[in-house]
Amino acid sequence: MKFLDDAPRFLFFTGKGGVGKTSIACASALALTREGKKVLLVSTDPASNVGQVFGLTIGNTITEVPAVPGLSALEIDPEQAADAYRERIIGPVRGLLPEKELASITEQLSGSCTTEIASFNEFTDLLTDDETISAFDHVLFDTAPTGHTIRLLQLPGSWTDFLDDGKGDASCLGPLSGLEKQRTVYAGAVDALADPQRTRLVLVARPQRSPLAEIARTHTELADIGLANQYVVINGVLPAADDDDELAAAIRGREQAALADLPAELRALPFDEVDLKATNMVGIDALGTLFTAANPDAAPAQPDSSDTVPNAPLGALVDELATDDHGLIMCMGKGGVGKTTIAAAIAVALAERGHQVHLTTTDPAAHLTDTLAGTLDNLTVSRIDPAEATAAYRDRVLSSKGAALDDQGRANLAEDLKSPCTEEVAVFQAFSRVIHESRRHFVVVDTAPTGHTLLLLDATGSYHREIARQMGENANFTTPLMRLQNPDETKIVLVTLAETTPRLEAAGLQADLERAGIHPWAWVVNNSLAAAHPTSPLLRRRAAAEATELDTIIAEHSDRYAIVPMMPTEPVGINALRALT
């Protein structure tokens, strides 16, 4: 693999959710240790599954992987990092300040802004802490899905600019209280990221148009902030086979067409392809085969899966949803499982049944207009764009709070609003407006990948607690969280694949939601090979592996579900989306 040749100290694996970044990162760590290198594998993804791949619990401390000599791993857990960050601020004054004041500080530190800063501090510490990383030849970062990763990599510059230029009080005063002393660390992180002798970016994609377009955008955005040492890895390429399976031929045809139409900016980068394998990349034995060529005709024959797949069409769920004339429908799940496609298919089906529907997304990497590729009566489409939401929020604050201030006061307020935390508040407010709109008609939300959706819900919970505290026990009020908790107003649809990691991810998300009093309404298993009944030996082996996952979903997770088969053509456009339901 070219991207592992003469590898520098730091390697970042990034790309659209679900393309196999974790598998590529874990297999790379394994390959480097087998060359005698000492490797630290770090996940900065709030929905990390590095521990699942290696079959052990890792967590927020450096942990040796016993089965792989020379390999250690670390998962930067956002909540653990936030707890530690809060304690560093509150601990020194506990017992010195009144309980009421401590409670106020704790509340300031309860939101998603604190979580992001705390995770970010863990990340920059690894880039600049020579004492910790000196024990390792390589540090590999399995990053969060692309939109979040770009924000993470831009943060060193954002925070440095904010600390250099800010003159006013921070809008997130509690979370930002420890940033000034981090100035040198952040500057060091910027230098490490921009140094090609120390850092290499590995852009991971599937051989599909959307992930390829995503890494093309990522390439440009990261190059613009100084990260120019980039490689491309195309994962899961279906190898050519001597069979007449129409599904396999269609999949390979569309993959090769996507690769032939590779964006020009990517063609100039060093390039690797990784074949699709018959088994999932869980366990050391499987990881050891990832970078070898696949022999699709050697996969052992598997029985036809036709009799084992329940008949559970997505259209049946839409029929049930359509008995109402309004409501919030949120599609959630791990990156890459097809939330955008399922959300768009549900929205199209409801609109064609005569309902007014607003389809929107909170995912910075989603492209609803590309998926729809057309317009439809009764359907409006939008996107909660973080940059646009933040600009609008700043304008509103300056025109309201700033109206009564003098020139110096307005200048201070404008500086205050340059805090990177402002974006969290702005996106939450935009999300709240969407929730309110669902009282009049259907609103279908394509959410960001799991971990980032939980951060948004955390902001929703923080807002609810603050309103409840201000209004008092006997007041009558309704917050966005209360609407999400009401099953008559909100239907949560968990989208997954019939594979171990996405299924465990969806189960974990369901547990998190339940703890917040939000009860998922249904599960959708997307892109099921078993439901498509392939005849190719390689695809039949992958289809057979789905049976256990489908049984587990039905038995343990949800009695309301749909199974959507893998389609010969990509589900892009109104007609293709209609076919899904």
Give catalytic residues, as residue numbers.
Answer: 18, 20-23, 45, 501
Q: Are the CB atoms for 39 and 136 separated by under 8 Å?
A: yes
Structure tokens at 396: 């509103």
How many angstroms separate the CA atoms of 472 and 402, rounded?
Answer: 29
Structure tokens at 269: 């980068």
Q: How far from 173 is each of 104, 167, 197, 306, 510, CA to CA, in Å?
A: 12, 13, 37, 58, 32
Q: How far from 504 is each of 33, 90, 309, 353, 556, CA to CA, in Å?
A: 28, 35, 20, 34, 11
Q: How far from 568 is each of 75, 309, 430, 527, 540, CA to CA, in Å?
A: 37, 18, 37, 10, 15
Task: Give the strand pairing for 230-237 and 327-332.
Answer: unpaired
How many angstroms separate the CA atoms of 575 and 89, rounded?
Answer: 55
Of the chain, the end-to-end C-alpha distance in Å amounts to: 41
To the nearest 10°, the Cα dihedral for 563, 569, 571, 572?
180
Q: What is the largest CA-CA distance in the chain?
A: 78
Identify the CA nearest to 117 among candidates 72, 166, 162, 68. Answer: 162
How many angstroms separate the CA atoms of 387 and 418, rounded?
Answer: 12
To the nearest 10°, the Cα dihedral for 254, 255, 258, 259?
-150
Q: Are the CB atoms for 439 and 326 separated by under 8 Å?
A: yes
Identify the CA nearest to 561 among candidates 511, 520, 504, 500. Answer: 520
Q: How many CA atoms lie within 13 A of 332 on its CB side?
A: 30
Task: Give the strand pairing for 71-75 and 63-64.
Answer: antiparallel
**Phi, psi (5° rounding) for residue 558?**
-160, 135
| Number of neighbouring beta carbons within 10 Å of residue 272 | 17
| Residue reference for tokens 């792989």 | 68
How many angstroms separate the CA atoms of 438 and 445, rounded?
Answer: 10
Q: How far from 496 is each of 482, 507, 528, CA to CA, in Å?
A: 26, 10, 10
Q: Are the CB atoms for 327 and 333 separated by under 8 Å?
A: no
Work out the burial of residue 301: count CB atoms within 10 Å of its CB; fewer than 13 is exposed, 13-18 middle, 19 or more buried.
Answer: exposed
Q: What residues does 559 pair with on adjacent strands?
A: none
